[in-house]
Amino acid sequence: MRASRCNPGQSNENGSIESRHGSLKTALDQALRLRGSRQFDDLGAYEGLVDQVVQRFNARISTRLAAERPVLRPLPTRRTAEYEEIPARVSKYGLFTVKKMQYSAPSQLIGHRLMVRVYDEWIEGWLAGQCVLTMPRATYRGGQKYARQIDYRHIVSALKRKPGAFARWVLRDAAFPRPVYRQTWERLAAALPEREACKTIVGLLSLAADGHETQLADELEQLIELDQQPDLQALGDLLVPPPTRLCRR
């Protein structure tokens, strides 16, 4: 017998690793069908199911692995990189694309060429040997043609200069930090003129970007329950404490 290797980029040359990968995907699908639902409370719950399936696979070869372990070569002294490096340039709109996935970047990085390190669950943007950006990795959601990971804090300053563009903004749906902000926009768009609705939602996003995202979300949920529209001025006075004044004696 003579050993052979699969050629890179030739998907038709399936080896033992590719076959095992397909078997694992089939086993996961069967486990999800038996579970009766593909919805999980969090990522940890899904990872727990994957671990159970993988452990069942590994239990079948535990005896053979124990026989081969004494003759295995030692691992390298230095750990291999857990990421893939891909160069990307930040456009004039503060966006860059990696693996057909779109990310936002702070305005200070516009025009710069980043070296992006792509991990399994997040990415890092490096410039001149320093990590200047860390974001969760973009994932495809229902109905999306392109995966996007947009941080509203990166683009809210540009929206404040031209809030009317929010209504027809391509990245609008990806910019909401929480579902309650999307619900608030839908209620504003249905009840107010477009210009006023855009100005209000951009003001709310600006207020959230100043460090009040969680507290503002709670206030917006209460307003939705009361069927009331948000008052930008009142919410600003509520969330932003007045400046402290020194009293002279």
Rounded CA-CA distance 104/159 in Å is 14
Give me the sign of the Cα torsion angle 129, 134, 139, 145.
negative
**β-bridge partners, 116:** 86, 125
Q: Report whether 96 contacts 142 (CB < 8 A).
A: no
Helix axes 232-239, 194-207, angle to 10 degrees: 10
What is the residue-level pLDDT of the chain in tens, covering all 249 positions?
Answer: 676 677 766 766 656 666 777 888 999 999 999 999 888 888 889 999 999 999 988 888 888 888 998 998 888 888 888 899 999 999 988 899 999 899 999 989 999 999 999 998 899 999 998 999 999 998 877 666 778 899 999 988 888 888 888 888 888 888 899 999 999 999 999 988 999 999 999 999 999 988 889 999 999 999 999 888 888 888 888 877 666 565 565
Rounded CA-CA distance 25/125 in Å is 31
Q: Report whether 167 contacts 194 (CB < 8 A).
A: yes
Query: Whole-model pTM?
Result: 0.73
Q: What is the CA radius of gyration of the chain?
A: 25
